[in-house]
Amino acid sequence: MRKAIIYIYILLCSATTLHAQDAGATFQFLQLPMSSHASALGGDNVSAIEDDVALAFHNPALLANVGGSTLSFNYMSYLQKTNIASAAYNMIVGERSELAFGAHYLNYGSMKNTDAEGNIIGNFTAKDMALMTTYSFDFSERISGGVTGKFIYSNYEQVYSLALGVDLGLNYYNPENMLSLSVVARNLGGQVKTFDEVQEPIPFNLLVGLSKEFAHAPIRLSLTLTDLTKWQAEDFYNSSDDSWTDILLKHFIIGADIFPTSNTYISVGYNLLLRSELKNSARRGLEGFSVGGGLQTHRIKVGVSYGKYHVAASSLMMNFAIGL
């Protein structure tokens, strides 16, 4: 328990220290989901207890709930000609610890290169990538912690940038009342090689999550509070006329899982910040809403989700995992 208390102190101190460095962050692809289940629950979730290694890259402490070695693949159609893929593998390395490796890759496709007058002089490609290693440890039967180290790389034609990042996560889970509580400090770190001479931060995020299952109903409700170090209108896109209540609600992600059988799930989510940032007065739709489902057997897990993370297009995300 003493180790858990020290871990919480480090996590909160790191969050306080790095908040002031977050304005104008680069590497925004790190904000996109790596799990189709998290995507279906509003785009992010840090407290759902599942045998899903991909969720460990939303909260490294959740790796402690993955049983045995698993190989996982995720694919998302993000925008036209822009695709996102990720892969993860985990292993048990001790009686109370697990280790996972992951990669997150975004390819923007081929784009036209123009000169100052707008003349096309060729094509170029752009891509983002993150390589990750996650370690989790059980402090007790109900409390687990985790850390993820990230090597981050972005290349846009002739310029590139490198960064190092760390995620810290903590989870409390009581199996008797099926209550899960989590706190995560995501993307602590910074650039080691800038695009130019300007140092830019990576997108820090402090999150708190709660998930609750019910003994007599096949339902799990989740509430995720995100961007908890941002409380000014200028921290959010299109927020100049927002009241304090509007700003408060933009921190909320609401999700629900329905379990028709013991090995299937249907998920829905609502992300209030995405709803605000993607809404268009001339074209109202389902911005901020997401939906998905999955099948989980002893060895095979398949998931799919549908959501919107960009004003120009909706995204379909698919997951396949196999136990080894």
Q: What is the pLDDT of residues 287-303, one digit of tens each?
A: 889 999 999 988 899 99
* pLDDT over 80 at 26, yes or no: yes
Q: Which domains are present in the chain?
A: 2-323 (2.40.160.60)
Question: What pLDDT sits at residue 259?
Answer: 97
Q: Name which residue leads in pLDDT, 117 or 215.
A: 215
Q: Name which residue leads in pLDDT, 264 or 12.
A: 264
> Considering only 6-20, 245-259, 304-318, which range has the smallest mean pLDDT?
6-20
Question: What pLDDT sits at residue 48?
Answer: 97
User: Of 159, 141, 144, 188, which Cα lies nearest the Cα of 15?
Assistant: 188
Question: What pLDDT sits at residue 158?
Answer: 77
* CB-based burial, 195-212: b 16+ in 10 Å, e otherwise: eeeeebbbbbbbbbbebe
Question: What pLDDT sits at residue 247?
Answer: 86
Instruction: Give me the mean pLDDT over the 26-40 stretch.
Output: 92
Residue 12 in 3-state DSSP?
A: helix
* pLDDT over 90 at 23, yes or no: no
Q: Cβ–Cβ contacts within 10 Å for residue 215, how many? A: 7
Question: What pLDDT sits at residue 232?
Answer: 76
* pLDDT over 60 at 12, yes or no: no
Quote the percentage of the chain above a pLDDT of 70.
Answer: 82
Burial of 178 (0-12, 13-18, 19+ CB in 10 A): middle
Q: What is the pLDDT of residues 75-110, one digit of tens each?
A: 998 877 788 999 999 999 988 999 999 999 998 876
Instruction: Give me the mean pLDDT over the 102-119 stretch.
Output: 77
pTM of the model: 0.87
* pLDDT over 70 at 18, yes or no: no
Instruction: Give me the mean pLDDT over the 57-80 stretch.
Output: 92
pLDDT confidence band for 17 (50 / 70 / 90): very low
Instruction: Give me the mean pLDDT over the 199-217 stretch.
Output: 93
Q: What is the pLDDT of residues 240-285, one digit of tens each?
A: 677 788 888 899 999 999 999 999 999 999 998 888 877 654 455 6
Question: What pLDDT sits at residue 236?
Answer: 67
94 vs 87: CA distance, rounded Å? 23
* pLDDT over 50 at 8, yes or no: no
Question: What pLDDT sits at residue 9?
Answer: 39
Question: What pLDDT sits at residue 273?
Answer: 87
C-alpha distances (whole Å) from 83 to each of 96, 123, 129, 216 are: 36, 18, 12, 41
Quote the percentage of the chain above a pLDDT of 90.
Answer: 60
- Specify whether the CB–CB gap between 139 and 7 falls below 8 A: yes
